[in-house]
A and B are shown apart, each in its own frame.
Chain A
Amino acid sequence: MSTWKEQELSKQELAHYSRHLTIPEIGVEGQKKLKAGSVLAVGTGGLGAPMLQYLAAAGVGRIGIVDFDKVEASNLHRQVLFGASDVGRPKVEVAAERLREINPHITIDVYETRLTSENALEIIRDYDVVADGTDNFPTRYLINDATVMLNKPNVHGSIFQFEGQISVFNHVDENGERGPNYRDLFPEPPPPGLVPDCAEAGVLGVLPGIIGCIQASEVIKILAGIGEPLAGKLFLFDALSFRTQKVSIRKNKDNPLTGVNPTITELIDYETFCGIGQDEEDVPEITVQEYRELLNKGEDIQLIDVREPHEYEIDQMGGELIPVKSVVENVEKFSREKQVIVHCKSGVRSANAIRELQEKYGFDNLYNLKGGIEAWRVEEPLENRTTKV
């Protein structure tokens, strides 16, 4: 790996970066540092799409992209790296094409895979900085722990509806002082279902653009060695009220990675750590296959869909729509005699609804459809689906 002093900028590169070169803080030296630098972007979604375009345009010499997803129509209102004709194509493939078009002077590495405890250290090891644009707590804790173990700064961005959060974790300053990491800020994730993902909760399309661009700015500052990275601080942005805040993050002596008595010395099972799957297990459940067998036998069962009306409009499996927020006021619609199958998109909201009805009204005939309509979609023959799109 060559140092920035060994970098050369061609005539074409000098032209491409000329507006950077005239900024005193960047200049030729800063641009060469960017060229010698590398970043791994985990996730090419709402945050990754804008961030990657600016990192490529700015001349970060090597950009790695990790994503296992394919482009979907529901991505297009915010993931501006993709167009309508890209639906169905692997995101990393489309992203690499676009980024090479934006800047042919850089290298793009593609990892069409899910980042896991098994591959994270190997993938992250070769990069200077990691930019976290994922959409779930297990991967965020995985990235945090892996970057701490490998001594890499972690440029973190996260979004929810109109709100965004950004910080630079695990950053070592010029005095060798290491800044706080994600576990200092939030030692544990919220229980599954309390903070739904963007697919369930929705997100203002432009919000990840704003937050992703700030992430790109932080990556560029770190690689070019300029300014003050957002280390030890959490930037909060609310697009609806335009309220912004920059709050302090303290180191936590009980941090299991970097505290007084570290207990995590290797990557763990992050799904288990985040309670994924466990929360649903405490309510009775039924698999898609079992549900289909009941239908085939002609059993008299009630199916209730607790998703939102717009989700029902896109795709449904014949259940009665009672959104999760209104199950209590519609409690009389739940049969006491029949077996009642309750479903949502993936099984979290329906489990919450069942738990609430059990606790408040003593139901003992409610069953959660495991994996929700997503599992049904996978296993239901195409011709049997009731889908409007």
Chain B
Amino acid sequence: MAKIYIPTPLRKFTNQNRELITGQQTLEGAIAQLVEEYPDIKKNLLDENGEIRSYIKVYIGDEEVDPRKNGAIKVDEKTEISIVPAIAGGL
């Protein structure tokens, strides 16, 4: 039961839900479930080739992961997957 944290700018695509609890066993499966449950997030998270967009990073704990290259990484109930987009506010 891994947990995916959804950042504020993407919550408009997840009915304002802040996280997704997933029973998937791999990173790839977890991201696939996120996209399946919230189809509108897909084009803002993944490009045409299924790669994470260049203005978004994905982390497990403190380490960057790439669901395409490291998709087989095992996730479990202790795993926290963070989606971190670029934000620019400051004024």
Which A residues contact B (CB, under 8 angstroms)? 43, 45-48, 69, 75, 79, 132-137, 140, 157-163, 165, 185-190, 194-195, 197-199, 201, 203, 208, 234, 236, 241, 243, 245-250, 325
The residues of A that contact B90 with a CB separation of less than 8 Å are 43, 45-48, 132-135, 157-159, 198, 208
Which of the residues B12, B54, B57, B84 comes within 8 Å of A188, measured between beta carbons? B54
Which of B53, B57, B87 interacts with A158 by CB under 8 Å? B87
Q: Which of B63, B64, B86 gathers most chain A CB within 10 Å?
A: B86
- The residue among A136, A157, A187, A190 with the most chain B CB atoms within 10 A of its own CB is A190
Which residues of B sit under 8 angstroms from A69, Cβ to Cβ?
91
* Pairwise interchain contact B88-A134, C-beta atoms closer than 8 A: yes
In the complex, whether B48 has a CB less than 8 A from a CB of chain A is no
Chain B residue numbers with a CB within 8 Å of A194 are: 9, 44, 85
Instruction: Give the distance to chain A from B47, nearest Cβ to Cβ, in Å.
Output: 11
A199 to B88, CA, bound (A): 12
Cα–Cα, bound, A247→B53 (Å): 18
What residues on B are CB-neighbors of A132 within 8 Å? 90
User: In chain B between 71 and 90, which residues have their CB closer than 8 angstroms to a CB of chain A?
Assistant: 82, 84-90
**A158-B89, A187-B54, A243-B5 are known contacts; what are 17 more A-B pairs with Cβ within 8 Å?**
A46-B89, A134-B88, A134-B91, A159-B89, A161-B8, A165-B87, A189-B88, A194-B9, A195-B9, A197-B89, A203-B89, A245-B82, A246-B62, A247-B62, A247-B63, A247-B64, A248-B62
Give CA–CA (A161, B18) in the complex, Å: 14
The answer to whether B29 has its CB under 8 Å from any CB of chain A is no
Pair B8/A135 contact, Cβ less than 8 Å: no
Q: Are B62 and A250 in contact (CB under 8 A)?
A: no
* Interface residues in B1-34 (C-beta closer than 8 Å to A): 5, 7-9, 12, 18
Q: Which residues of A contact B5 (CB under 8 A)?
A: 243
Establish whether residues B62 and A245, one from each chain, have CB atoms under 8 Å apart when the complex forms: yes
Least CB separation from A44: chain B residue: B91
Q: Are B91 and A185 neighbours in the complex by a CB distance under 8 Å?
A: no
Whether A248 pairs with B88 at a CB distance below 8 angstroms is no
Residue on B with the closest CB to A324?
B12
Complex alpha-carbon distance, A248 and B54, angstroms? 16
- CB-CB under 8 A from A133, the residues of chain B are 90-91
Chain B's interface: helix, strand, loop or mixed, by majority? mixed
Cβ of A190 and Cβ of B91 under 8 Å apart?
no
A134 to B91, CA, bound (A): 6
Q: How far is the CA of A134 from the CA of B44 in the complex (A)?
A: 24
A347 to chain B, nearest CB (A): 18
Instruction: Show 28 A/B contacts (Cβ-Cβ < 8 Å), sorted by A.
Output: A46-B89, A46-B90, A48-B90, A135-B88, A135-B90, A135-B91, A136-B88, A137-B86, A137-B88, A158-B88, A158-B90, A160-B8, A160-B89, A162-B8, A163-B87, A186-B54, A187-B54, A189-B55, A194-B9, A194-B44, A236-B82, A236-B84, A241-B18, A245-B59, A247-B82, A248-B63, A248-B64, A325-B12
Residue of A nearest to B87 (CB): A160
The 7 closest A-B pairs by CB, nearest first: A45-B91, A135-B91, A160-B87, A186-B86, A190-B55, A188-B54, A198-B89
Contact residue among A46, A161, A163 (Cβ-Cβ distance under 8 Å from B91):
A46
Residues in A with CB closer than 8 Å to B12 are 325
Cα A61 to Cα B53 with chains together (Å): 42
* Distance from B69 Cβ to chain A, minimum over Cβ atoms (Å): 13
The CA-CA distance from A186 to B59 in the complex, in Å, is 14
Complex interface: chain A residues within 8 A of B63 (CB) = 247-248
A250 contacts B64, C-beta separation under 8 Å: yes
* CB contact under 8 A between A247 and B59, given known A163-B7, A188-B54: yes
* Nearest chain B CB to A77 CB, angstrom units: 12
For residue B54, which residues in chain A have a CB less than 8 angstroms away from its CB? 186-188
B91 touches A43 (CB 8 A): yes
* Contacting pair A140 B7 (CB below 8 A): no
Q: How far is the CB of B24 from chain A (nearest CB, A)?
A: 22
> Judging by beta carbons under 8 Å apart, are A234 and B91 in contact?
no
